[in-house]
């Protein structure tokens, strides 16, 4: 029996395909030019990291058609600058077309996990695809709900060794770029560094009154923390992902196929929806239901015994191996919310751990 997508799944896929069609029409030959630029990596063009589909310098060449910014009217500059980030995201996403849908309970737990201390940047290089799209149900303030976001990595050709985690927020009728500098120590520093560079770049093109929006605040930093937490979960070794269509596939970066005209990437015919956290999400839902029943029982009986509570999820990073050993590595755990003080069918509910085991080369990037 053929798999029939749910209305929500079909709606997301149709919207993202609409973005592909819109920008392909706005920039004729977009996909072909992007693939041609990729074929020149390490040859006519500098070598860039394999986790980056196409540096934004390539998207800039596509959007501006190689023309200098001074040749564009002021009214076009903001749009073109935004389009560079969007084209970068769409080119990378089109190669795999992964849509990541978190189980609702897991989504809430992961997005609310605090990010304190040093930003675990080395883990972010483990994105399952060049660009992922994560659905964000109920995110944002009405009527400006964010339906989801694209996330991808940028290898800056203008500043060798400078890397960024880039976002393109999907408002349904508007795509809006943001980013983080991965050479910053903490999340607030990463946000502030990105906005400072954006302000400097804007100041060379735009009048001062149009540059006031490039100021960090606590709300923006907290919002970015939620997005980073969702992305980090996808970078875990034992993340829970399954193909929504029922196959045994797992996401990954595709390899070029040899053709008469040289290696070529063939994008999929349609997006793939990956179901995220289908088991642990169900366990969290069960824990929440247990706590709710305990609260209802306490209310009805008037008992004074403690009501079970849920301990908040948190990230925990630590070093594994001897200090002098070459195989010493950084590990990261997402500690799921824990239901404390309750038993279900005679067994205490316990958390599920998600270990992240970066390779030595990934540690060096952090």
Is the predicted pLDDT of residue 197 greater than 70, yes or no? yes
Model confidence at 353, pLDDT cuts 50, 70, 90, reads very low
Torsion sign over Cα 283, 287, 290, 296: negative
Residues in the chain: 366
Model's pTM, two decimal places?
0.82
Kindly state the tokens that stand for 105: 């309970």
Q: Is 292 within the bounds of a domain?
A: no
Q: Is 55 within the bounds of a domain?
A: yes
The residue among 314, 315, 306, 302 whose CA lies nearest residue 340 is: 306
Determine contact, residues 235/123, Cβ cutoff 8 Å: yes
pLDDT of the residue at 278: 81
Rounded Cα distance between 210 and 203, Å, is 9
Is the predicted pLDDT of residue 109 greater than 70, yes or no? yes
Phi and psi based region of residue 294 (left: phi greater than 0; alpha: psi -120 to 50; beta: remaining)? alpha
Crossing angle of the two packed helices 30-39 and 74-94, in degrees rounded to 10: 70
Backbone angles phi, psi at 137, to 5 degrees: -60, 125
Checking DSSP bridges between strand 175-181 and strand 163-170, what pairing results, if any?
antiparallel
Q: Is 37 within the bounds of a domain?
A: yes
Total domains, the chain? 1
The residue among 292, 364, 287 whose CA lies nearest residue 326 is: 364
- Residue-wise pLDDT for 4-21, tens only, equals 344 466 899 999 999 999
Place of tokens 């996330």: 151
Q: Is 285 within the bounds of a domain?
A: no
Supply the range of the domain harboring residue 209.
7-276
Is the predicted pLDDT of residue 55 greater than 80, yes or no? yes
Q: Is 362 within the bounds of a domain?
A: no
Q: Is 83 within the bounds of a domain?
A: yes
- Residue-wise pLDDT for 26-37, tens only, equals 999 999 999 999
Give bridge partners of residue 309 from the DSSP assignment: 340
Rounded Cα distance between 335 and 113, Å, is 9
136 versus 359: the higher-pLDDT residue is 136
Q: Is 350 within the bounds of a domain?
A: no
DSSP-derived secondary structure letter, 109: H
Q: Is 25 within the bounds of a domain?
A: yes
Model confidence at 62, pLDDT cuts 50, 70, 90, reads very high
């Amino acid at each position: 029996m053929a798999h029939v997508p749910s209305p929500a799944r079909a709606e997301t896929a149709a919207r993202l395909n609409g973005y592909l069609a819109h920008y392909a029409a706005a920039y004729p030959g977009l996909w072909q030019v992007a693939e041609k630029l990729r074929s020149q990596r390490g040859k006519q063009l500098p070598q860039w990291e394999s986790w980056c589909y196409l540096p934004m310098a390539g998207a800039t060449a596509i959007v501006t058609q190689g023309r200098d910014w001074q040749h564009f009217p002021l009214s076009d500059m903001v749009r073109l600058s935004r389009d560079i980030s969007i084209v970068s995201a769409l080119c990378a996403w089109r190669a795999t077309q992964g849509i990541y849908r978190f189980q609702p309970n897991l989504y809430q737990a992961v997005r609310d996990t605090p990010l304190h201390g040093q930003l675990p940047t080395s883990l972010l290089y483990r994105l399952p695809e060049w660009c992922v799209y994560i659905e964000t149900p109920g995110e944002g303030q009405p009527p400006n709900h964010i339906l989801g976001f694209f996330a991808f990595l940028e290898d800056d050709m203008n500043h060798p060794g400078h890397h960024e985690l880039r976002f393109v927020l999907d408002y349904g009728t508007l795509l809006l770029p943001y980013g983080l500098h991965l050479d910053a120590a903490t999340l607030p520093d990463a946000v502030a560094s990105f906005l400072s560079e954006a302000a400097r770049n804007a100041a060379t093109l735009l009048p001062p009154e149009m540059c006031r929006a490039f100021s960090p605040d606590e709300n923006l930093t907290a919002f970015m923390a939620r997005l980073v937490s969702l992305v980090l979960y996808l970078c875990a070794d034992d993340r829970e992902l399954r193909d929504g269509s029922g196959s045994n596939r797992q996401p990954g970066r595709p390899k070029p196929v040899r053709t008469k005209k040289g290696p070529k990437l063939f994008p999929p015919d349609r997006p793939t929806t990956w179901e995220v956290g289908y088991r642990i999400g169900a366990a969290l839902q069960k824990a929440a239901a247990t706590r709710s029943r305990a609260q209802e029982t306490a209310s009805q009986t008037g008992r004074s015994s403690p009501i079970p509570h849920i301990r908040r999820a948190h990230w925990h990073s630590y070093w594994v191996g001897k200090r002098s050993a070459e195989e010493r590595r950084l590990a990261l755990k997402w500690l799921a919310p824990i239901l404390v003080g309750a038993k279900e069918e005679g067994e205490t509910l316990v958390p599920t751990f998600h270990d992240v085991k970066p390779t030595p080369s990934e540690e060096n990037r952090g």
